[in-house]
Amino acid sequence: MSSIGKRLLATTADIAASIEARAAQGDAGKPPLPRTAPGQMLAARTEMLAMQGELQALREKLKAFDGSLPTVKLDPALVDATRWANRHASAFATAAFARLKSSIELAGGNTQPILVRRGDSAPGRYEIVFGHRRHRACLELGLPVLAVVWDGEMPDLDLFLSMDRENREREDPSAYEQGITYLAALDAGLFPSQRRLAEAIGVSHTWVRKATLVAQLPAAIVETFATPLDIQPRHAEEIAQALEQDRKAVLRRAERIRQMSKRPSPGQIVAHLAGRVAERAVPEKFHVGGRLAGSWKRDSRGRAVLTLESHVADDDFMAQLSEALVKMLGKKDGA
């Protein structure tokens, strides 16, 4: 029972004792109890019924507080994110977070409390169960965060389920954020399989598979996007297929995308990574004796394409070039 419940129970006990004392001593404003046995029994019964009615009314009031927890204002610097946190750093740079932060600032604090449990890292510290965005807003604004402190035991499994349910009821995290959380829960052994995880949180197994696929993309691929929140499950499925067919080529394309001065849209990035866009590589020309001899460039699959001018590439020269290339490639493989 909560501290509020205990205090109310103590108050109820005091009132009950007062009623019992009154029954024993008699009220000053009432006539004394009858002296005959039947009269005393009738009066005692009447008084007992009155006491029972008062006690029952108090118990009904007590039920309204049973299981409730008090809210407290905490220094947000003493509150840590849980290791199951599924909010990526870029989620705190969105317009939605800016609106939340503004509303908390206008209200002088978060009106909807966050839920925390006592932390294990150090005395006096707390761990967020849910409410990471509200906590972050208060931390940035320098305001105390309104919180409910869970006094009882809360295993990691319960924390994970509570956090997932709360987040999905408010603003859904992205596929990437949820995938990261699902993978963390599976790695920690909270669930034996993706299917069991899906059953526990009440979502489809297909969604869990898609979200984890997004979270499992290589870091080099994720970095091509302005934010991981832009990666949709359909993007991840196409990229995963391209990686399976030619991983090295996809990673080379990712490197070129990261070097672009202007970031393409998420759809364009996927098209580039999957090889659906012909790369416009600028040929590198070379001259001999002031005359163009040829050029080379890389195609969409990363292959080097050499083009020689007709006045250079006669049959004898090509035979010599082929022999020289074989020797050079042999040395490279030997190295």
Give the ranges where the chain is alpha helix by DSSP (H): 3-25, 37-63, 95-107, 132-141, 156-169, 175-187, 194-201, 205-215, 219-222, 233-258, 266-273, 315-334
| 278 within a domain of the structure (yes/no) | no
Q: For residue 238, is pLDDT > 90?
A: yes
| 260 within a domain of the structure (yes/no) | yes
Tokens describing residue 255: 């490197």
Q: Which of 34-43, 82-91, 264-273, 320-329 has the lowest mean pLDDT?
A: 34-43
Cut 0.75: pTM above it: no
Shared domain for 127 and 204, answered yes or no, is yes
- CB neighbourhood size of 136 (10 A): 21
Q: Which of 131-145, 175-189, 267-281, 315-329 has the lowest mean pLDDT?
A: 267-281
146 — phi, psi (to 5°)? -75, 125
**Per-residue pLDDT reduced to its tens digit, 151-197:** 777 888 888 888 787 766 666 678 998 898 899 889 889 899 999 99
Q: What letters, b where the CB count within 10 A reaches 16 and e where it falls short, cover 67-82?
A: eebeeeebebeebbeb
Range(s) of the domain holding residue 255 = 223-273
3-state secondary structure of 146: strand
Residue 148 one-letter amino acid: V
| 121 within a domain of the structure (yes/no) | yes
- CB neighbourhood size of 296 (10 A): 14
| 329 within a domain of the structure (yes/no) | yes
- C-alpha to C-alpha distance for 155 and 112, rounded to whole angstroms: 24
Shared domain for 201 and 260, answered yes or no, is no
The confidence score (pLDDT) of residue 51 equals 58
Q: Higher model confidence: residue 167 or residue 291?
A: 291
- CB neighbourhood size of 143 (10 A): 18
3-state secondary structure of 235: helix
HSE, side-chain direction, 13 A CA sphere, residue 88: 20
Shared domain for 178 and 84, answered yes or no, is yes
Angle between helical axes of 194-201 and 175-187 (0-180°, round to 10): 120
Q: Higher model confidence: residue 236 or residue 87?
A: 236
| 103 within a domain of the structure (yes/no) | yes
Helix (H), strand (E) at residue 116: strand 114-118
| 28 within a domain of the structure (yes/no) | yes
Q: Which of 60-69, 105-114, 212-221 has the lowest mean pLDDT?
A: 60-69
Average of pLDDT values for 40-50? 61
Q: What is the gyration radius of the CA atoms in the chain, in angstroms?
A: 36
C-alpha torsion angle, residues 245, 249, 255, 260 (rounded to 10): -100
> Edge-to-edge, what's the strand order for the sheet holding 284-288?
284-288, 291-298, 304-308
| 98 within a domain of the structure (yes/no) | yes
Beta bridge partners of 128: 116
- CATH number of the domain at 79, please: 3.90.1530.30
Q: How confident is the model at residue 76 (pLDDT cuts 50, 70, 90)?
A: very high
**Exposed, middle or buried, 315 (CB in 10 Å: 0-12/13-18/19+)?**
exposed
Beta bridge partners of 37: none
3-state secondary structure of 198: helix
Average of pLDDT values for 311-326? 87
The confidence score (pLDDT) of residue 23 equals 47
| 279 within a domain of the structure (yes/no) | no
Shared domain for 92 and 182, answered yes or no, is yes
Q: For the chain, how many structural domains are there in total?
A: 4
Q: For residue 327, is pLDDT > 80?
A: yes
